[in-house]
């Protein structure tokens, strides 16, 4: 149950909603069949915006997962987080016992939080005055409200916190949950990421940075990691949550163990607020840190779920980082970016990609990188182009790199 005094940590439940589906079955079927969830934006007038496309969650009914009263008082990122957490808890068949509640917790990853609520109530303030701003506005806006509501709804009295580290937040949340359980501070933690900022202000901001794809006439071809004609990422939304618990706790309650978490790395680039260093040095150190933490060799990794954003700089720098860490073995590794289908969920990306990594291990099937038609000359590794690949996968490494030069890497393993 322990290695070097540290507890083994396993995954017993997963929940996900993303631009390619609600629930694990719909998500996985669409990923394996290479179906994109990128569509023209429907929720506001995008006429004046350079980028007019996004990965919207479709067909989501909040009251399938929570009361209408709660749904009306929270921002959409919290709705998504609650829904994914509920799916994960149901999948794990976890029963929170009051006498153990102080050993059960929640850690969420969020990038921008309730930006939609901020925009909405700024307009209310200007048009109607301060007395018309909702008393629920502040709780709607602050990033820790996903973890706060999940803690309350499931009576979790242990760690209740949020990682707000841009596009690495979801992976940081899972990594910190892993460490808390490994050290014996917690027995069970619901962890993952959630985000919902397909809003005018977010779209305008990312557009001003020239970060977004403007392939508006062909949305499903817009997210194209590692392809020579990529022109930016596509913003997405959704949530991915996992139930992590100590192996002894899982065995004691007879839980179904889906996978094991064995490694976690976190580093800083100390380079630039948005761009990675040319050589991918920070990401490389992060991958090496995770490998060292797991006590495995680079050759033990079967698949990398890449950060793979479809931006010119990221894809090249991540490729260089992988080559630095894995050497000649990099040419034998299967690598893919599920963002080619989901778009980039920002703070939610690490959460859904951890869920997808679990499924890759379980199913022995690697999701493809779709839209990879003409590889960039500097992106010359095996990115599993366009068609899913059957392969026995024992170890997955998942990368998440964020603005501010923050990096997170998770390593998951088939449970034996």
pLDDT in tens, 169-183: 999 999 999 999 999
Superfamily designation of domain 9-252: Thiolase/Chalcone synthase (3.40.47.10)
Q: Tens of pLDDT along 313-339?
A: 999 999 999 999 999 999 999 999 999
Domain layout of the chain by residue ranges: 9-252, 264-413
Q: What is the DSSP letter of 74?
A: S
- 272 catalytic? Reply is no
The reported pLDDT for the residue numbered 2 is 65
3-state secondary structure 19-39: CCEECHHHHHHHHHCCCCCCE
Tell me the average pLDDT across 126-145: 96
This prediction's pTM: 0.97
Q: 40-49 contacts: CB < 8 A, separation 24 or more? A: 40/216, 40/219, 41/198, 41/203, 43/198, 44/199, 44/200, 46/203, 49/200, 49/203, 49/204, 49/207
| Residue (of 9, 12, 294, 13) closest to 180 by Cα position | 9
- 167 catalytic? Reply is yes
pLDDT at residue 147 tops 80: yes
Which band of pLDDT confidence, cut at 50, 70 and 90, is reported for residue 4? confident
Q: Tens of pLDDT along 206-218?
A: 999 999 999 999 9
Q: Tens of pLDDT along 185-232?
A: 999 999 999 999 999 999 999 999 999 999 999 999 999 999 999 999
Choosing from 172, 194, 307, 317, which is the catalytic residue?
307
- 379 catalytic? Reply is no
Q: Do domains 9-252 and 264-413 have the same CATH topology?
A: yes
What's the CA gap between 372 and 46, in Å, rounded?
A: 27
Fold of domain 264-413:
Peroxisomal Thiolase; Chain A, domain 1 (3.40.47)
pLDDT at residue 1 tops 70: no
Choosing from 164, 172, 344, 379, which is the catalytic residue?
344
Choosing from 167, 194, 317, 379, which is the catalytic residue?
167
Secondary structure of residue 305 in the 3-state scheme: strand
Assess contact for 320 and 208: CB atoms under 8 A.
no
The reported pLDDT for the residue numbered 5 is 84
């Amino acid at each position: 149950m322990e290695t070097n005094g540290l507890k083994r940590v396993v995954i017993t439940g997963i929940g996900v909603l993303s631009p390619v589906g609600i629930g694990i079955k719909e998500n996985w079927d669409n990923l394996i069949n290479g179906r994109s969830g990128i569509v023209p934006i429907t929720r506001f007038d995008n006429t004046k915006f350079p980028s007019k496309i996004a990965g919207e969650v479709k067909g989501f009914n909040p009251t399938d997962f929570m009361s209408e009263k709660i749904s009306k008082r929270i921002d959409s990122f919290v709705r998504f987080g609650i829904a994914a957490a509920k799916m994960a808890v149901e999948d794990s068949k976890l029963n929170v016992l009051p006498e153990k509640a102080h050993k059960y917790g929640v850690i969420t990853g969020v990038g921008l939080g309730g930006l939609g609520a901020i925009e909405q109530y700024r307009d209310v303030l200007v048009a109607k005055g301060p007395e018309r701003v909702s008393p629920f506005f502040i709780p709607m806006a602050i990033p820790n409200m996903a973890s706060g509501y999940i803690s309350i709804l499931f009576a979790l009295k242990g760690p209740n916190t949020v990682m707000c580290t841009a596009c690495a937040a979801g992976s940081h949340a899972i990594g910190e949950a892993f460490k808390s359980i490994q050290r014996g501070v917690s027995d069970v933690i619901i962890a993952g990421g959630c985000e919902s900022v397909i809003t005018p202000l977010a779209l305008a901001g990312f557009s001003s940075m020239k970060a977004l794809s403007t392939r508006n006439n062909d949305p499903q071809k817009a997210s194209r990691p590692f392809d020579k004609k990529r022109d930016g990422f596509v913003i997405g939304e959704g949530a991915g949550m996992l139930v992590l618990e100590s192996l002894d706790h899982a065995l004691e309650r007879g839980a179904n163990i889906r996978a094991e978490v064995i490694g976690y790395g976190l580093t800083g680039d100390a380079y630039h607020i948005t761009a990675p260093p040319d050589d991918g040095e920070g990401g490389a150190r992060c991958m090496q840190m995770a490998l060292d933490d797991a006590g495995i060799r680079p050759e033990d990794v079967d698949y990398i779920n890449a950060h793979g954003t479809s931006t010119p700089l990221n894809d090249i720098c991540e490729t260089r980082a992988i080559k630095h860490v894995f050497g000649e073995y990099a040419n034998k590794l299967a690598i893919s970016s599920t963002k080619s289908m989901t778009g980039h969920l920002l703070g939610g990306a690490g959460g859904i990609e951890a869920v997808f990594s679990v499924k890759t291990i379980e199913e022995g099937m690697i999701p493809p990188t779709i839209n990879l038609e003409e590889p960039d000359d500097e992106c010359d590794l095996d990115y599993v182009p366009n068609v899913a690949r059957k392969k026995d996968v024992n170890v997955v490494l998942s990368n998440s790199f964020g603005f501010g030069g923050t990096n997170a890497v998770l390593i998951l393993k088939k449970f034996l």
